[in-house]
Amino acid sequence: MPTPVSTARQCLTQESISTLDAAVAVARRRKHTQTTSLHTVSALLSLPSSSLRDACTRTRTNTYTSRMQFKALEICLSVSLDRLPTQKDVEGDPPVSNSLMAAIKRSQANQRRQPENFFVYQQQSQSQSLVSNVKVELKNLIVSILDDPIVSRVFGEAGFRNYDVKLAILRPVSNQFFRYKRGNPVFLCDYNDGFDVGLRGFSFPFSGFGMVDDCGEGEVKRISEILVREKCRNPVLVGGYARDVLKKFLGRVEGRRLSGEFPVELCGLSVISIENEVGSWDLESVKLRFNEVGRLVEDSIGPGVVINFGDLKGFVGEGGVCVETLTFVVRELSRLLEVYRGRVWLIGVASEYEMYMKFVKGFPSIEKDWDLQVLPMTSPKSSREEAYPRSSLTESFVPLGGFFPTPSDVKYPLGGSTNCVPRCHLCNEKCEQEVTALSNGGYTASVAYQFPSSLPSWLERPELNTTRASDDKANDSMVLSAKVVRLQKKWDSICQRLHFAPFLAKPETYRAYSQVPTIMGFQVVQDGKDNVSSHHANASSTVTGCKVVESSRLTDVELNATAEASAQVIVIPKPVNMRFRETAESDEQCALRTPLKSWSSSNVVEGLTSPTSVTSVTTDIGLRNKLSASRVIETSPHQSDKDLMQDSSGCLPEISDVLAASTKNNASTISFIPSSDLCEQYDQKDYKYLYTSLFSKIGRQEDAVAVISQTLARCKSGNGKRKGTSRGDMWFNFLGSDGICQKKTAIALAEILYGGTESFICVDLSFKDGINYVNSMIGWQDKNNCDMKSRGKTMVDYIADQLRRKPLSVVYLENIDRSDPQVQSSLLYALKSGRLLDSHGREVSTSNAVFVTTSRSMEGKKIASSTEETFSYSEENVVATKGRPIQILIGFDLGDNVISQNTRVLNKTRKDESIPVFLNKRKLVGNDGNIRQYKATEVVKRPHTATKISLDLNLPAEESEMTDVENFDREPFSENFNAWLDNFLTLGDETVIFKPFDFNALADEKLKVITQCFHKIVGSEGSLEVDSQVVEQILATVYLSDSSKVDDWINQVLGQAFVEARKRYNLNSRSVVKVIPCEVQEQAQGALLPATIIMN
């Protein structure tokens, strides 16, 4: 049988009674049938200065942060509270439950037994013999409530130990228990802002009572700090908010409203403003004014005078200035500063630093003369009021309703002092202030403004103005009394809302919180409406009580509307949230679609079918699809080596929309073919077989192929470096410069060993800037790499991921010498242990993979590059060549010497290179200027070649170091890099050296073919000039595909062009036929050599 609340109250002390009342209020809010111990605990915890919470803080384990543990406690408590039975219609207070009553009784008994109380109670009981007369103290009540099994379970679930808490309550507080000192750490370095430690609560909005404009203390301090300095003592505030700050600062100096931290020596400053004079055209009046100023300065008492010269705009003249006046002003001010040294300050503002610079430029010595100091002002001064979280904010804010604040919480502006007074002292005072203000006729907006507002000032001000206006208008005696009443009512409600809100609003918000956002908005509206009808004073307070300012400003009549309005305001977040999510989703889709568009069309379809799904799901899909798509891209180069080029161009994202989708389907079928016809046919241990099959796929570099196949055979037969272990991985290092051949080799390895190019993983480790060699010919390298990088993965992650999917594969790592440290360390680890660690620390077995690493430099091994001559055609240049249209120009050699039938290579376009090959005598060609120009644009267009050149092995290393960007990249690692590379190379199975591709010989050979063709068609008359870039185009074609195709091209396309030229022009012995690239737009990717040649 539950006990009525009044009975229970009789056994309690005043302190305990208020706790019980709070508990009853909690129960009532939650519409519970009885007030239990749980309610009491909840009430206890939400009290601002709760001994229970203190105790909990002291006893909590160190494993979790106090915030987390409190949150846990909060959750457990609310869950248990939710389980309690509720009833619809509540009449009066829910009675005290048996368990709580038992707890009270227990504590009574306890208290009587306590030795210090023994005699008192002994006497009492002798006289009255009534147990209920023992008033239970709060401490004892808490202890016995903690004994309640429900409560102890809740605490246990939250990770508090019951007896610890009890002990902490009973023990006197001693500071050594505190884990960290509760006093705030002093953060300020530049100035000692002595914020009082004792002020735990958040009393700001009320502390600044008298101050109408509360200028940020920090800014005042910073300004005054400059003022007291010896040098550079005249501040110029710079920044968008400087004006406001200055106004407020001066206002406070004039009004003597400076707080304690304002330097004593500056107290009593006076302010003179000459703002208006600065821009003035009237010299006479300015002179008069300055006479006055001089007098004022002379007469001033106290520390001195601050002269405000206003915005520097006036000096630099926006819209015309009177130079005379300005020079006068400047001179006068300098004079004043000089004469009254130490007693005169200047102060001004500039909205932008540029303005200040202009000013200083206009008056060159002014910075020194005026002793100016620039002071940046970057935040608005009213930020404090605006940015303040509203007192009730945290309620709706902290997840799960913000049941009780963490110690320094902002929630209760006035601490526990406002529990019982109907209208607290402060509110009373404010109310009276307003009433008097009202009767004086002026409505001070300040009061409402003082409250931390839900609206920023820019929204608030206009409204305030209107209020004031209407107030003024209606301000006659008739209305006055009504207004007073209204004001009082308003303050009543403010007071109630602010200071009782914690108890009233909590359950509301809490309940709302546990719902889905959409429902939340609805529910709150409902509540709001209910309350409007029932008791209007509380109306808006129950609507999560956060619209303090708004409703306080509005009148009774409007209150109805307000409640609804504020309810609406609360609803707003819902659509906002929704919109957020929607945009998030649509963005997600956009993000998805952009890569997808380029990857495969099937993805887009998938992406579109799941528009409503949760974002993470979509992203998952996106990622997976991307990866699968990238795999597709990798598979396609498989088809054949010969038209690798065409293939790759086909694989480029632009076209792959359609292609990839189809290839994807094909991919599975493709992978079967080789496995059926190739893999099983030969024994991988057979050296000869390996050699022939490799060589047939590569076509050059016999030595390297021999070494590779030997090593392969050795490893496969179990005689590799890691003989003892069961690991099947192999590590090759390809050194040398023939990059294409290296890659071809690796692909061939993948085909031979694992039966297809889909088991070929290619990563360029030097890949740093996310820009691939899009314009280079081997752009087919790895487009996926680029995308991979931007998707939150590191190189290692990508490699590990690929390996996880395809454990049996050839991992081709280009430019190992330019890898980053993370890759280096994990590769070395993989080499040693057979497991690759990704950046999350997950391991992937590498024991079935073949690793091929390449490096251009020979640094690792001291291999003499004696075979190398100076190349005029370096690999880098050739590889970077773009397919351009080629044109033929006919010039006439007007010089004396008739040229022999020689073919020359024009090398104008690359002057930075060493010696042109065939150049006998350079001649000025008619349109040389044109070509020169072309060169200039070319250099701009291809920064890559410029940087690449310095990687040329022939250049001395020291030279390239200072100029080369890429070398800078490496610079940080270079110390331990060589050691690492050495180590890596020695641990690997084999280091294979690729001979540099002999471009010169090839160029010779091809030129010979061209010359032959030329002479065959044109005859022996005339000479031929071939631009070096055209030669490079030809070389690149040979390099990437094969030589016979180029011969065909020369004989057909070029030959055709020569025939045409002969037809059109009358070629004689003096004519020069020039084959040069066009500087017009580039050809589409793919074919390096154009199908037709442009004739002029």
Partner 1 sequence: MGQSLLDALNVRVTGSGRRVLFLAHGFGTDQSAWNRILPYFLPSYKVILYDLVCAGSVNPDYFDFRRYTSLDPYVDDLLSILDFLGVDRCFYVGHSVSAMIGILAAIRRPELFAKLILVGASPRFLNDPEYHGGFELGEIEKLFSAMEANYEAWVNGFAPLAVGADVPAAVREFSRTLFNMRPDIALFVSRTVFNSDLRGVLGLVKVPCCIIQTAKDVSVPASVATYLKNHLGGRNTVVMLNIEGHLPHLSAPGLLANELLRALSR
Q: Is 830 exposed, middle or buried (0-12, 13-18, 19+ CB in 10 A)?
A: buried
Q: Does 442 bind partner 1 (CB under 8 A)?
A: no
Q: Within 13 Å and on the Cβ side, how many CA atoms surround 588?
A: 22
Q: Does 175 bind partner 1 (CB under 8 A)?
A: no
Q: Does 159 bind partner 1 (CB under 8 A)?
A: no
Q: Does 232 bind partner 1 (CB under 8 A)?
A: no
Q: Does 930 bind partner 1 (CB under 8 A)?
A: no
Q: Does 718 bind partner 1 (CB under 8 A)?
A: no
Q: Does 517 bind partner 1 (CB under 8 A)?
A: yes
CA 1071 vs CA 128, 144, 889: distances in Å? 137, 114, 10
Indicate which single residue of 85, 92, 172, 185 sits in contact with partner 1 (rule: CB under 8 A).
185
Q: Does 622 bind partner 1 (CB under 8 A)?
A: yes
Give the span between the Cα atoms of 155 and 177, in whole angstroms: 20
Q: Does 592 bind partner 1 (CB under 8 A)?
A: yes
Q: Does 196 bind partner 1 (CB under 8 A)?
A: no
Q: Does 618 bind partner 1 (CB under 8 A)?
A: yes
Give the span between the Cα atoms of 755 and 679, in whole angstroms: 6
Indicate which single residue of 54, 225, 556, 820 sits in contact with partner 1 (rule: CB under 8 A).
820
Q: Which residue, 189 or 478, has its beta carbon nearer to partner 1?
A: 189
Indicate which single residue of 397, 503, 773, 892 sits in contact with partner 1 (rule: CB under 8 A).
397
Closest distance of CB 573 from partner 1, Å: 3
| Long-range own/partner contacts, residues 1018-1021 (CB < 8 A, 24 or more apart) | 1018/1058, 1018/1061, 1018/1062, 1018/1067, 1018/1073, 1019/1067, 1020/901, 1021/1067, 1021/1068, 1021/1069, 1021/1071
Here the tokens at position 1057 are 């062009």
Output Rg (C-alpha) for the chain, integer angstroms: 43
Residue type, 1042: D
Give the span between the Cα atoms of 960 and 968, in whole angstroms: 10
Eight-class DSSP state of 392: T
Q: Does 978 bind partner 1 (CB under 8 A)?
A: no
Closest distance of CB 407 from partner 1, Å: 6
Q: Which residue, 188 or 1084, has its beta carbon nearer to partner 1?
A: 188
Taking CB under 8 A as the criterion, which residues in 947-976 touch partner 1?
A: 965, 968-969, 971-973, 975-976
Eight-class DSSP state of 132: G
Closest distance of CB 569 from partner 1, Å: 8
Distance, first Cα to last Cα, the chain: 111
Closest distance of CB 517 from partner 1, Å: 5
Q: Does 240 bind partner 1 (CB under 8 A)?
A: yes
Indicate which single residue of 3, 35, 144, 396 sits in contact with partner 1 (rule: CB under 8 A).
396
Spell out, one character per residue from 834 to 873, where the chain touches partner 1: x when CB under 8 A holds, - when not. -----x----------------------------------
Q: Which residue, 173 or 576, has its beta carbon nearer to partner 1?
A: 576
Residues 160 and 154: beta-carbon distance below 8 Å: no
CA 209 vs CA 433, 435, 553: distances in Å? 11, 16, 18
Q: Does 511 bind partner 1 (CB under 8 A)?
A: no
Residues 844 and 835: beta-carbon distance below 8 Å: yes
| Ramachandran angles phi, psi of 171, nearest 5° | -70, 145
Q: Which residue from 856, 814, 873 is spatially nearest to 993, judged by alpha carbons?
A: 856
Taking CB under 8 A as the criterion, which residues in 553-572 touch partner 1?
A: 569-570, 572
Closest distance of CB 768 from partner 1, Å: 4
Beta pairing class for 850-855 and 730-736: parallel
Q: Does 513 bind partner 1 (CB under 8 A)?
A: yes
Q: Does 186 bind partner 1 (CB under 8 A)?
A: yes
Q: Does 350 bind partner 1 (CB under 8 A)?
A: yes
Q: Which residue, 189 or 1001, has its beta carbon nearer to partner 1?
A: 189
Here the tokens at position 522 are 């609805």
Q: Does 65 bind partner 1 (CB under 8 A)?
A: yes
Q: Which residue, 239 or 674, has its beta carbon nearer to partner 1?
A: 239
Residue 1025, beta-bridge partner list = 904, 1074
Q: Which stretch binds partner 1 (CB under 8 A): 353-361, 422-430, 480-488, 995-1003?
A: 353-361
Q: Does 1040 bind partner 1 (CB under 8 A)?
A: no
Q: Which residue, 352 or 492, has its beta carbon nearer to partner 1?
A: 352
Q: Is 142 exposed, middle or buried (0-12, 13-18, 19+ CB in 10 A)?
A: buried
Taking CB under 8 A as the criterion, which residues in 447-466 touch partner 1?
A: 456, 458-459
Q: Which residue, 174 or 378, has its beta carbon nearer to partner 1?
A: 378
Q: Is 1016 exposed, middle or buried (0-12, 13-18, 19+ CB in 10 A)?
A: exposed
Residues 749 and 694: beta-carbon distance below 8 Å: yes
Indicate which single residue of 282, 292, 530, 620 sits in contact with partner 1 (rule: CB under 8 A).
620
Residues in the chain: 1096
Indicate which single residue of 386, 463, 938, 998 sits in contact with partner 1 (rule: CB under 8 A).
386
Residues 999 and 874: beta-carbon distance below 8 Å: yes
Q: Does 611 bind partner 1 (CB under 8 A)?
A: no
Q: Does 260 bind partner 1 (CB under 8 A)?
A: no
Residues 452 and 460: beta-carbon distance below 8 Å: no
Residues 887 and 1078: beta-carbon distance below 8 Å: yes
Give the span between the Cα atoms of 941 and 909, in whole angstroms: 13
| Separate counts of helices (H) and strands (E) for the chain | 51, 17
Give the span between the Cα atoms of 890 and 1095, in whole angstroms: 9
Q: Which residue, 163 or 178, has its beta carbon nearer to partner 1?
A: 178
Q: Does 67 bind partner 1 (CB under 8 A)?
A: yes
| Ramachandran angles phi, psi of 703, nearest 5° | -60, -50
Closest distance of CB 1085 from partner 1, Å: 19
Indicate which single residue of 118, 163, 177, 580 sits in contact with partner 1 (rule: CB under 8 A).
580
Indicate which single residue of 254, 354, 912, 1004 sits in contact with partner 1 (rule: CB under 8 A).
354
Taking CB under 8 A as the criterion, which residues in 755-774 touch partner 1?
A: 768-771
Taking CB under 8 A as the criterion, which residues in 900-919 touch partner 1?
A: none
Residue type, 461: R
Q: Which stretch binds partner 1 (CB under 8 A): 223-231, 740-748, 756-764, 814-822?
A: 814-822
CA 392 vs CA 396, 398, 412, 502, 860: distances in Å? 8, 11, 8, 8, 68
Q: Is 1058 exposed, middle or buried (0-12, 13-18, 19+ CB in 10 A)?
A: buried
Residue type, 699: G
Indicate which single residue of 255, 389, 441, 718 sits in contact with partner 1 (rule: CB under 8 A).
389
Indicate which single residue of 149, 376, 611, 718 sits in contact with partner 1 (rule: CB under 8 A).
376
Q: Does 177 bind partner 1 (CB under 8 A)?
A: no
Q: Which residue from 117, 160, 162, 115 is spatially nearest to 143, judged by alpha carbons?
A: 162
Indicate which single residue of 351, 552, 701, 853 sits in contact with partner 1 (rule: CB under 8 A).
351
Closest distance of CB 396 from partner 1, Å: 7
Q: Does 584 bind partner 1 (CB under 8 A)?
A: yes
Taking CB under 8 A as the criterion, which residues in 623-652 touch partner 1?
A: 623
Closest distance of CB 244 from partner 1, Å: 11
Give the span between the Cα atoms of 472 and 127, in whole angstroms: 68
Q: Which residue, 826 or 881, has its beta carbon nearer to partner 1?
A: 826
Q: Which residue, 887 or 950, has its beta carbon nearer to partner 1?
A: 950
Q: Which stretch binds partner 1 (CB under 8 A): 168-176, 442-450, 577-585, 903-911?
A: 577-585
Closest distance of CB 465 from partner 1, Å: 18
Site size toward partner 1 (CB under 8 A) is: 106
Collapsed DSSP state (helix, strand, coil) of residue 237: strand
